[in-house]
Amino acid sequence: MRRSRRALVFLPILLLLAPLGGCKVSQVSMEIPSFGDGGVAGIWLWRYDNATGQYERDCRVTFGSTDANSKGEYVGYTQQCTNQPDINLNAYIHPEPTDPNTVTLTLWYTRFQGTPGSYKASAYNAVGESALSSTSLTF
């Protein structure tokens, strides 16, 4: 819990300093079924590669433990992306009213590449991985 609070304090500092280091910071909102019952260990962000014409793994997001503060429940996560240092962040958990196991998370995504790209996502756990998302985002 102490590490999670520290991450919440340093997140604004990270976001202010990121542009100085050539880093692009974006937010990605995702609806994740089975999150509430522990069925998802993390997600992969896949970047479209113009050379191959396919989506390739670019960034792994591993979910940690959940905690709560005065603003609500949140989950810690580690972003592990190609050719950049690992980053520990937090995302608030927004359960769907009709299905508390399905949640929406707004994740911070940082990348040190200069060119925008098209991304899709997949979820994973100990037994496997989902198909790529049907929608893509460009950032």
Residue ranges of the domains in the chain? 2-138
Residue 114: band (very low, low, confident or very high) from pLDDT cuts 50, 70, 90: low
pLDDT value, residue 6: 43
Exposure string for 67-102, b = 16+ CB within 10 A, e = fewer: eeeeeeebbbbebebeeeeebbbbbebeeeeeeeeb
- Indicate the length of the chain as a whole number: 139
pLDDT at 82: 83
**pLDDT more than 70, % of the chain:** 81
- Report which of 92, 68, 79, 87 is spatially closest to residue 1, judged by C-alpha positions: 68
Mean pLDDT of 19-43: 83
- Sequence-distant (≥ 6) Cβ neighbours of residue 17 within 8 angstroms: none
Phi first, then psi: give them for residue 12, nearest 5 degrees: -60, -35
Report the distance separating Cα 89 and Cα 64, nearest Å: 10
55-103: pLDDT as tens digits: 999 999 999 999 999 999 999 999 998 888 899 999 999 999 999 899 9
Residue 107 CB: number of other CB atoms within 10 A? 21
Indicate if the pLDDT at residue 7 is higher than 90.
no
pTM over 0.85: no
